[in-house]
């Protein structure tokens, strides 16, 4: 209950900060982004994040699944190192590289963000599938389930909490990193932030940064709800019991 209250208070503070900076209208010689532009930038920022995250999920879960199979585990360190490249390279450099290769604009930003946020999904998918209890899989095999049935009916449901945790981490990273996409003409709230930085106008930077933070918190909360529904009911109850014991 306290966590939810603190979260609501933080969101309310970020919204209030956004409203205040927008209501300033002008700061010195410079004009703040009007409400229509701010709403359009927020919508575009959300679109960039959702498309990039969909690309990361579409690629990350199959890669993690492949790495978890016994016949591919020898190659797991190599493929894991390849997917780690996205996060070892700074976001600005990665976005810059893809803008050179693919040109300025939305497409290069989405690909760069998809690569950058791939690692948490791959690692959590792999860890979730590998950590599935062998006794449970053996019991399923004894019931006559095939390898594919064990994967989709036993391993994936058991791994779902970790997979969703990876997607949540990836999404929050995506929201913050998408602000850099404003530097290559992809739009979004990053464009307002970069304009404020270039003008050395703190109020304009806050006008773009506050809704970005609010969007990250909101998406994380939405994904938390989705994750709670995606986890099988029996596993959900056992997780709640373990959380209750830990507290």
Residue 92 inside a domain? The answer is yes
Whether the Cβ atoms of residue 117 and residue 134 lie closer than 8 Å to each other: no
Confidence of residue 216 (pLDDT cuts 50, 70, 90): very high
Q: What is the pLDDT of residues 129-188, one digit of tens each?
A: 888 888 888 888 888 888 888 888 888 888 888 999 999 999 999 998 888 887 787 888
pLDDT tens digits for 76-106? 666 666 666 666 677 778 888 888 888 888 8
Q: Is residue 236 in a domain?
A: no
Residues 6+ positions from 210 with CB-CB distance below 8 Å: 14, 15, 17, 18, 21
Give the global pTM.
0.84
Q: Is residue 245 part of a domain?
A: no
On whether residue 106 sits in a domain, the answer given is yes
Encoded tokens for 176: 């913050």
CATH number of the domain where residue 53 is located: 1.10.3720.10
Read off the tokens for 48: 């960039």
Cα-only R_g, the chain:
21
Tokens of 188: 């979004």
Q: Which domain holds residue 110?
A: 2-231
Q: Examine residue 242 and state whether it is found in any structural domain, yes or no.
A: no
Question: Which of the pair, 86 or 28, is modelled with greater confidence?
Answer: 28
How high is the mean pLDDT of the chain?
Answer: 84
Q: Look at residue 244 and tell me if it is in a domain.
A: no
Six-digit token string for 204: 């304009």
Q: Is residue 146 part of a domain?
A: yes
- Answer yes or no: is 66 within a domain: yes
**pLDDT for the residue numbered 91:** 78
Total of domains in the chain: 1
């Amino acid at each position: 209950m306290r966590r939810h209250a603190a979260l609501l208070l933080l969101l309310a503070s970020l919204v209030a900060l956004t409203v205040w900076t927008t209501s300033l209208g002008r700061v010195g010689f410079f004009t703040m982004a009007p409400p229509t532009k701010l709403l359009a930038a927020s919508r575009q920022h959300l679109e960039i994040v959702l498309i990039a995250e969909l690309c990361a999920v579409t690629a990350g879960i199959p890669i993690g699944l492949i790495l978890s199979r016994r016949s591919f585990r020898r190659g797991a360190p190599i493929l894991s190192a390849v997917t780690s490249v996205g996060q070892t390279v700074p976001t600005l450099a990665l976005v810059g590289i893809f803008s050179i290769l693919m040109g300025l604009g939305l497409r290069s930003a989405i690909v760069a963000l998809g690569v950058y946020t791939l690692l948490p999904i791959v690692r959590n998918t792999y860890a979730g599938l590998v950590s599935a209890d062998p006794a449970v899989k053996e019991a399923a095999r004894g019931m006559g389930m095939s390898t594919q049935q064990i994967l989709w009916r036993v391993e994936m449901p058991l791994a779902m909490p970790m997979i969703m945790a990876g997607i949540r981490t990836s999404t929050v990273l995506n929201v913050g990193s998408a602000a850099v996409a404003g530097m290559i003409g992809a739009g979004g709230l990053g464009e307002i932030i970069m304009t404020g930085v270039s003008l050395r106008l703190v109020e304009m930077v806050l006008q773009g940064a506050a809704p970005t933070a609010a969007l990250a918190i909101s998406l994380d909360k939405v994904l938390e709800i989705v994750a709670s529904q995606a986890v099988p009911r029996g596993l959900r109850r056992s997780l709640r019991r373990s959380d209750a014991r830990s507290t």
